[in-house]
Amino acid sequence: MIAFKFFQIFLYPSTFLFILLIIGAALFKKKAGRILIIVGLIIFYLFSITPVVDFVISPLENKYQAYDPQDEAENIVLLISGIRKGNMSFPSKIAESSLYRVLEAVKIYFKMVEKPKIIISGSSPVSFSQKPGEEIAKFIQTLNVPLEDIILEQNSKNTYQAAIEVKKIIGQSSFILTTSAYHMPRSMYVFEKQGLSPIPAPGDFMKESDYDLFDFFPDPRNLRKSDLCFHEYFGLLYYWIRY
């Protein structure tokens, strides 16, 4: 898995683009080097403008619609993506993607008549000292969710492990699964592979619906979104092959 992730990084648009431009600069005196630079600039432009990035992310985000709480469930499973390093206060401490996921889970929690348990699932994939789940639990309590309704699952370091660990906690109990919209297809796949029946509640939608002239200018945020898209597609491919 680690080897696959390492290989995966080099295929992200931002990393691939950087390598392409470095090679092109080293070979600039040759025609091949200049061609690589031109190709790199084209890739940079395409993957940093909103319409192209939205086209790439649409198959991920369109599969599951925003959840309108109607069905009662015993649990809300919140898949977290991390926290920011350093001494920060809430909500700045919570990474953007995690923050949107948290707010989606809390919104659903307060809309439900019978209050469910919120299971915060995930830990840092590279650090043993960082405890993002504990920090997010503290933040959720500031939003008036009582401590007794929060359960921490800190053993998992990826989505597949999260499905296994969550199943140990809830068994076949009903639950709503909350994560970013782009991450929901992979999450649903691995949880269903564990014999579970999650109710999808995607948050953190990134696809835009209207464009103006400025959306056709490069934006570094779009390059970041492109990397997230490729990460998800590679993750889906990995799970389809292995599981």
> Strand, coil or helix: what is 113?
coil
How many Cβ atoms sit within 10 Å of the Cβ of residue 42?
11
Each of the 243 residues of the chain gets a pLDDT tens digit; together they read 555 566 667 678 888 888 888 998 888 888 888 899 999 999 999 999 999 999 999 999 999 988 887 767 899 999 998 777 777 778 778 888 889 999 999 999 999 988 999 999 987 766 555 688 888 999 999 999 999 999 999 888 889 999 999 999 999 899 999 999 999 999 999 999 999 999 999 998 998 888 999 999 999 899 999 999 998 998 898 888 877
Tell me the fold of 75-203: Rossmann fold (3.40.50)
Nearest by Cα to 207 from 14, 49, 50 = 50
In the chain, what are the domain boundaries? 2-61, 75-203
How many Cβ atoms sit within 10 Å of the Cβ of residue 95?
17
Output the six-digit token pair for 64. 């599951």
Sign of the Cα torsion 11, 17, 22, 23 reads: positive
> Strand, coil or helix: what is 34?
helix
Q: Which amino acid is at 47?
A: F
- Residue ranges in the chain assigned as alpha helix (H): 2-9, 13-26, 31-46, 50-61, 96-111, 132-142, 159-170, 184-193, 220-242
Burial class (CB in 10 A: 0-12, 13-18, 19+), 83: buried
Angstrom distance (rounded) from CA 226 to CA 220: 10
Q: Are the C-beta atoms of 153 and 169 separated by less than 8 Å?
A: yes
Output the six-digit token pair for 95. 């990474």
What is residue 124's DSSP assignment? -
The three-point CA angle 137-61-234 to 5° equals 85
Angstrom distance (rounded) from CA 47 to CA 222: 7
